[in-house]
Amino acid sequence: MVKDIEKKAEDKMEKAIDVLKAKLNTIRAGRANPKMLDRISADYYGTPTPITQMASISAPEPRMIVIQPWDSKTIPIIEKAILASDIGINPGNDGRIIRLVVPQLTEERRKDLVKLSKKEGENAKVAIRNIRRTAIEELKAEQKSSKITEDDCKNGEESLQKITDNKIKKIDDIVKLKEKEIMEI
């Protein structure tokens, strides 16, 4: 019973870390990364459609992203969506493909992006702690209904705390790595 609750909590914590990684991938770090476009959607025949489903996206050079739409009629739609997004890059096209040249980041913009990544890390830590709290409440409910002993409950809480500490350290490491990537010139 206790192990089930711990396992469920650990799985949820891993999912929270995966969400953090996905969010950090969308933050640009001075070099071209096709994942920057993952959360941008274009209005395709009245339906918001992710650009990744409308075109092939690649980074042939460290500072350039190439978007090759499957339907050339979607080029203006994709360009409009990129301009409306918060990535701050102006697209250029030759009628067949869209090129995004990733500009060098200013020192101020780098610091803003570091703050943003730290904020995302804090949000992930809050999610981890909430998962731990919910799991501990489950343990206490099991103890109250006499399904587990008081010792099992205490051991489960200690185990959950260790799992939580490990996950929070993992989040710190991920955020530090992203910070290093952003500040790299």
The CA-based dihedral angle spanning residues 141, 142, 148, 150, taken in that order and rounded to the nearest 10 degrees: -10
> What's the whole-number mean pLDDT along residues 147-153?
89
CATH number at residue 144: 1.10.132.20
> What's the whole-number mean pLDDT along residues 127-155?
92
Residue at which a domain ends, from 57, 75, 101: 101
138 and 175, same domain (yes or no): yes
Q: Give the H or E element holding residue 10.
A: helix 2-25
Tell me the pTM: 0.72
66 pLDDT more than 80: yes
38 and 129, same domain (yes or no): no
- Domain range enclosing 172: 2-25+106-183
111 and 97, same domain (yes or no): no
Percentage of the chain exceeding pLDDT 90? 36
Mean of the per-residue pLDDT values for the chain?
88
Number of folded domains that form the chain: 2
128 and 168, same domain (yes or no): yes
91 pLDDT more than 90: no
